[in-house]
Amino acid sequence: MQAVLKNPTITVIRPQGSLNAANALEFQQDLTKALAQNTSSRLLVDLEQVEALDSAGLMALVSALKFAQDLGRQFSLCSVSPSIRIVFELTQLDKVFDIF
């Protein structure tokens, strides 16, 4: 995961490479940690540098979304490439996530 950018209302996380079974647990822990430690009202995951996403990576995002909702925070995705967006569309998670 690349550096996290913060301001009083938003935290941006920029993962890189593949989000898959090999690193999904670590990614999920990073997201959970960012949500738990920050008082930002919104977490934005910038997927511009993500080249591949499998079911484990997708579940890490879903788990983080649920945790954010439990905390009353907003959770959004941005810069989703067409090849990654199709994963969200096929699973109909494009209707669950705020994607910009």
Domain presence at residue 39: yes
Domain presence at residue 32: yes
CATH number at residue 38: 3.30.750.24
Residue 26 structural domain: 10-97
Amino acid at 96: V
Tokens of 66: 């649920």
Q: Percentage of the chain with pLDDT > 90?
A: 82
Tokens of 28: 């999920």
Q: Is 100 exposed, middle or buried (0-12, 13-18, 19+ CB in 10 A)?
A: exposed
Domain presence at residue 4: no
CA dist., res. 90 & res. 93, Å (int): 8
Domain presence at residue 46: yes
Residue 41 pLDDT grade (very low, low, confident, very high; cuts 50, 70, 90): confident
Domain presence at residue 2: no
pLDDT digits (tens, 9 = 90+) for 3-13: 455 556 888 99
Helices (H), the chain: 24-37, 55-71, 82-90
Residue 4: predicted pLDDT: 59
Domain presence at residue 1: no
Domain presence at residue 3: no
